Amino acid sequence: MKELNKETALITGGASGIGLSIGKRLAETGMKVVLADIEVPVLEEAVAELKGLGLEVMGVHCDVRDMGSVEEMKNQVEEAFGNPKIVCLNAGVGFGSSISEATISDWEWVIGVNLWGVINGLHTFLPAIKEMGEGHIVMTASIAGHVSVPNLGPYSATKFAVVAIAETLRKELLTENSEIGVSCLCPGFVSTNIFTSERNRPENLLSKSSSDLTDEELLQREAFMEWISSNAKEPSEVAELVHRAILDNRFWIFTDDQHLDGLKSRHSSIVNGDELPWPAPPLIDL
């Protein structure tokens, strides 16, 4: 979209981190912005903060795992701001576990938010965007949607799927000569609240692995959080890239060149029929 003007933008997972920064950036351009999120008190704070800056923003409670909740959110958005032309399907939760130790509840939760959230969002908003004949959809995947690393299997599985959905939709819309753009956001590490995602896990999907950290794991976690606070990208930098990609209708949005080597060696192992690149290059140097 060349001009965003007074159109409506919707961002799921908009109360925090990358989603909140995208919402702020788009509202600064003069857009009407809807932040949809499951965490109501944080959402209310975020909306108040942006309104305090004179931006046109509303918050809507929504659980992206639940189609009924997404449809209800769409009705509220339509009534208040009109159908969104920009939809950022960004809500997500982080979860680390080996494949052997992940429980069915773990899988259900991560797939529910990270994958069904995107599917429910597309099913609900794509028809109206197609009817308007103009718009842009951003799907938040991850660098973990391109490379797999131990202990990130369930998360990675959802992000590989989001990459596939985004690529396919892009090609289908190009085939139809559609004016509707698609971008696939693939961040590396970003300094957000993703690392405390368990706060949003529903009670019926709690699992033992979510709370029982050993002392060693707690120390590792502390070192990891220290690394994040001084090395990870700021959400505002990612939001700037997303804003640019929407204006330029650019598909891929990567945030870190350093992760692209892992992607290249994966692709060359596929093309050459080689063993997977192993040992996997560490994502961070602790």
Ligand X SMILES: NC(=O)c1ccc[n+]([C@@H]2O[C@H](COP(=O)([O-])OP(=O)(O)OC[C@H]3O[C@@H](n4cnc5c(N)ncnc54)[C@H](O)[C@@H]3O)[C@@H](O)[C@H]2O)c1
Is residue 220 part of the annotated active site? The answer reads no
Cα(214)–Cα(111) distance, integer angstroms: 26
CB of 151 vs ligand X, minimal distance in Å: 15
Task: Indicate the residue among 40 and 276 with the shorter CB distance to ligand X.
Answer: 40
Q: Which is nearer to ligand X, 129 or 253 (CB)?
A: 253
CB of 3 to ligand X, least distance (A): 26
Beta-carbon neighbour count of residue 123 at 10 Å?
Answer: 13
For the chain, the 3-state helix, strand and coil shares in percent, each to the nearest 5, are 55, 15, 35
Q: Please identify which of the residues 109, 155, 160, 189 carries the catalytic annotation.
A: 155
The residues that touch ligand X, with contacts defined as CB under 6 A, are 12-13, 15-19, 37-39, 62-65, 90-93, 113, 140, 142, 187, 189-190, 192-194, 197, 200
CB of 13 or CB of 135, closer to ligand X: 13
Give the rounded distance of the alpha carbon of 2 from its chain centre.
23
- 131 or 285: CB nearest ligand X: 285
Structure tokens at 73: 């959110």
Q: What are the residues facing 137 on neighbouring strands?
A: 87, 182
Q: Which two tokens stand for residue 27?
A: 């509202």
Please give the structure tokens belonging to residue 56.
């046109």
The size of the chain, in residues, is 286
